[in-house]
Structure 1
């Protein structure tokens, strides 16, 4: 027996069998975990892809987000019951926010136009398991879950003036005189130069990036447009983004004439929409909006935004029969809306500044009681309220030719136009321009004949009301949508205001307190009364006729051309849709 035990002690056959028996369960468990873990990660990847697709499908039309998400899941082979939640909200295009924070379900962080433009989808389902399920609560593999957020943003660019850009010799002279006076230089632009600017577009995105590089701005586009920059830097940046060589050459020519000391605050010129909080340098990346800025408007409005003053003391025009019009002063209100704006419908608006003109109308000699009485300075104030417009709809067709078939709707309002004869308040022409009322206009002495006969005048015109309506750019609309290299056609809305007809509506000058004639101590009261009435009648006739001669571009090209040089036409709003982009859903 002892020999038997000794032989067994030295026998090594079948020594692995106990080890296999002992470790078999562990090996089978490890293999099962590897198989189930592999299936888990494959399932998670597939579920995430399907969830991403469902989010992008829902973002195409957030109003039908649930139905579109379910349909997408079904088409990708999933039971729609795996849809755990669908949230709609706003996407905040802010590089300063984390990715998770850019979805704003409350729409309080970045309300914009108050319209939903983003969707967040959450899905979940049990993972496929073969062996891990036997562990029950101790199973280390959780259920599959995925979430995705997608947004779609349609954008348009829009620009505004209150006058249509047309080139004439008179306009070119006004451009050189008026803008040159603001800059403090002798501007020498030819007709070809002005025409090149008026028919050319600046690529807005490339312009902003070039300007940021010139002024050393490395933050966001909002940081850039809140700065004050030198006009020379602005013009050189515009030249680098011009769509043709002629415009680039003209902008470079002007830049060489102006000093960089002429400061231009940008915050009154541009509205940037969703790009405001994005870092500079990305304007040429897809899916950035490709929109243009009219080169002449950019130059003219930048000059007006600066600190130059308009001296029009020598701006005199002969109207009719020895009558003259002298533009004594011009003032503008604050730019509370940008001239060029880019972004989604409902939150992209532009506007002009309110404008006030102070005219001194010399009526020449008027026959009164057989004598010639000179009326050298009849003070007239013309108020033009700001025109404004907002992009209200961007209609993107479900066609391959979206660039051709997209329509942009803009709601525009022209400004009220009013005129006064009389003495304005002392601060009426200061900047920023204070509001005035008819009650604040006082009598102005227009005749003082040897201190024996005096004539005072005061009148308020019947206001020309503004006009309001929709302008459509695109197929079937009043204008076309432009893009860099291909400026679109403008559309206008207006009430036909002209200086002449407006001033002839100053009918209240015929009222009892409109034209006051005083004859001092030379006659009996009854005789004086009759004489004053006769003088008054003759003066009214002598004043009304010259005022009637102040009609638009026929009798007073000076006034029209000066206003046109500033992009102004009484009672009009002219709009350009400078670009449009139909958004594609993207994951954020």
Structure 2
């Protein structure tokens, strides 16, 4: 019977699934376990990455305490601080041309800057949670958990420097219109109210750059923008769109209507953008943005000086007494080696005024043996005033803008003055260096070809002053920001032109100051050189000294003020400060 049922059993298909389940069951359980472990891995990896990023942000706030702050942050997020595997300090390179990985520079090779570490990269790791796949040991396809995060904090401030705080007077208004108008080649028409509004007004730097980029069609980086030349009208209209007050915007628009884009302004000598130079334009309001202000008058005056306008002041004459004149023959500026406005971290951000050289001709009509002194050539050299941001102290409060402090090392420039003939290229642009040895005696007198008098003198230089100015609580000045200019601080010796020139003219009395030479066929008393020299000294030195104090001093002080310069003096503004909010890079 049994052998009869074998064929039927062979044809019976009942229970055929059971062997398949027996064979495939292990695979199904393995797949489910792998899916569970993989899901746990990705969830845990996401959580670890978030905790690692939070730890990097905490560490970047104070890089010097990076390890401790990262461990504390991991603990607050429920992780054992022991998962912190490494902490690396470096410097952040905000350069759009670099990858995110390259923007972290641990060697300071790409972004040496001021040599200070402002970025932190941390790595974390821990075993992943595994259930079924753990039985595979080293063959498990689920790796350990690992995360890397990099964050940076950049404390920045803006600084601008001029050489004096201007007081608007009628003389200053005339000087501004005459001097800046001469540079522009137009008849500038600004009144005292216009100038005061510009001096009291400020422009949001970031919005100004973005508006200017839009006007001139620049879509690259801020460095691309500030490397090009732009029309003065475009520059002023962009400034008006970023002005802090409607009156400032109105006045800037008024000035823009008096100038043209034919006057080209190279921007590379005006602005230093520090770490922001390689970021794309249009991001001034992004976090962390460029938040600083520009004084409206300084922006206009420095832009005019940066252009190619020739300063010809041969008509700027002050007549004080019959026949006595003060004529400004020429003005030259020095090379632009530092920007007029600068933004960036401490230790690598500085601004300066331009070095300046004035050529004067002082003329006197004197009754000394019938002698007329037509012209005494005088040169005045004014070195640049400078301001360097040395420290940015960010307060650990919610009111950083109010409580933070910025330290600036400020120095006013050395001033020299000479009587005599300078080299032919002395007034070229940019002006070459000049020393006392370069000054030759100038022929100031020739009486009927019988007696000549040559003059050469060097004044005692007016040395500048230097020191640290503090902006913020307890400091000499207040930090500005868009819409609130803050208050400036000054350093200097308060010297003026008159005393400097009086010292110079007084030095003519030295043995080599005034040289008188009788020529052949002279008639007595002109042949007596000592007698003529004595009379000349008495008749020239005192009147010239008086002329310097009563005419040259106010005339030049106003002209220098129009250019933002005061002898031996530096006025600094911290135009804004941003305490770095750590950001992931």
TM over 0.5: yes
Name the CA shift for 1:289/1:551 in 2 (closer, same or farther; >3 Å): farther
Q: Does residue 1:412 correspond to 2:413, yes or no?
A: no
Name 2:508's counterpart in structure 1: 509
Shift in Å, 1:557 = 2.0
What are the within-5 Å matches in structure 2 for residues 14-93 of structure 1? 14-93=15-94
Q: Does residue 1:587 correspond to 2:584, yes or no?
A: yes
Q: Encode CA deviations 1:407-457: one digit per residue, 9 max, x unaligned.
A: 111111111100000111111111110111111111111111111221111
Preserved CA contact (<8 Å) 2:443 2:454: yes
- Pick from 387, 410, 424 the counterpart of residue 426 of structure 1: 424
Q: Which moved more, 1:255-264 or 1:100-109?
A: 255-264
Measure, in 2, the Cα distance between the counterparts of 1:93 and 1:84.
26
Name the CA shift for 1:136/1:209 in 2 (closer, same or farther; >3 Å): same
- Pick from 402, 407, 412 the counterpart of residue 400 of structure 2: 402
Segments of structure 1 that go 5 or more residues without pairing to the other structure are none
Name the CA shift for 1:456/1:63 in 2 (closer, same or farther; >3 Å): same
Q: Encode CA deviations 1:275-329: one digit per residue, 9 max, x unaligned.
A: 1000011112222021111111111111111111111111112356864321111
Shift in Å, 1:84 = 1.6
Name the CA shift for 1:20/1:127 in 2 (closer, same or farther; >3 Å): same
Q: Encode CA deviations 1:28-47: one digit per residue, 9 max, x unaligned.
A: 21121122112211211111
Shift in Å, 1:76 = 2.1
Shift in Å, 1:80 = 2.3
Measure, in 2, the Cα distance between the counterparts of 1:543 and 1:60.
68
Name 1:556's counterpart in structure 2: 553
Measure, in 1, the Cα distance between the counterparts of 2:550 and 2:67.
60
What are the within-5 Å matches in structure 2 for residues 462-477 of structure 1? 462-477=460-475
Name the CA shift for 1:553/1:485 in 2 (closer, same or farther; >3 Å): farther
Measure, in 2, the Cα distance between the counterparts of 1:547 and 1:73.
78
Q: Which moved more, 1:87-96 or 1:238-247?
A: 238-247
Q: TM-score, normalised by structure 1?
A: 0.95
SS of equivalent residue, structure 1 residue 23: helix
Q: Encode CA deviations 1:469-492: one digit per residue, 9 max, x unaligned.
A: 111111111111111211111111
Name 1:341's counterpart in structure 2: 342
Name the CA shift for 1:59/1:550 in 2 (closer, same or farther; >3 Å): farther
Name 1:390's counterpart in structure 2: 388
Preserved CA contact (<8 Å) 1:500 1:551: yes
Q: Does residue 1:377 correspond to 2:370, yes or no?
A: no
What are the within-5 Å matches in structure 2 for residues 239-388 of structure 1? 239-319=240-320, 323-367=324-368, 371-388=369-386
Measure, in 1, the Cα distance between the counterparts of 2:70 and 2:99.
25
- Pick from 526, 539, 543 the counterpart of residue 540 of structure 2: 543
Q: Give the paired residue count.
A: 583
Segments of structure 2 that go 5 or more residues without pairing to the other structure are none
Q: Does residue 1:153 correspond to 2:150, yes or no?
A: no
Name 2:562's counterpart in structure 1: 565
Q: TM-score, normalised by structure 2?
A: 0.96
Measure, in 1, the Cα distance between the counterparts of 2:446 and 2:523.
20
Name the CA shift for 1:346/1:552 in 2 (closer, same or farther; >3 Å): farther
Preserved CA contact (<8 Å) 1:320 1:555: no
What are the within-5 Å matches in structure 2 for residues 188-199 of structure 1? 188-199=189-200
Measure, in 1, the Cα distance between the counterparts of 2:335 and 2:526.
49
Shift in Å, 1:387 = 1.3
Shift in Å, 1:207 = 0.8
Preserved CA contact (<8 Å) 1:499 1:550: no
Q: Encode CA deviations 1:51-78: one digit per residue, 9 max, x unaligned.
A: 1111111111112222222222222222
Shift in Å, 1:15 = 3.6
Name 2:171's counterpart in structure 1: 170
Preserved CA contact (<8 Å) 2:496 2:557: no
Measure, in 1, the Cα distance between the counterparts of 2:526 and 2:283.
79
Name the CA shift for 1:501/1:296 in 2 (closer, same or farther; >3 Å): same
Measure, in 1, the Cα distance between the counterparts of 2:364 and 2:485.
44
Measure, in 2, the Cα distance between the counterparts of 1:578 and 1:518.
58
Measure, in 1, the Cα distance between the counterparts of 2:522 and 2:561.
51
Shift in Å, 1:228 = 0.7
SS of equivalent residue, structure 1 residue 44: helix
Preserved CA contact (<8 Å) 1:553 1:560: no
Measure, in 2, the Cα distance between the counterparts of 1:19 and 1:487.
83
SS of equivalent residue, structure 1 residue 489: coil
CA RMSD of aligned residues (A): 1.9
SS of equivalent residue, structure 2 residue 102: helix
Q: Which moved more, 1:42-51 or 1:507-516?
A: 507-516
Measure, in 1, the Cα distance between the counterparts of 2:540 and 2:575.
45
Name 2:220's counterpart in structure 1: 219
Measure, in 2, the Cα distance between the counterparts of 1:552 and 1:280.
51
Preserved CA contact (<8 Å) 2:201 2:296: yes
Measure, in 1, the Cα distance between the counterparts of 2:127 and 2:155.
38
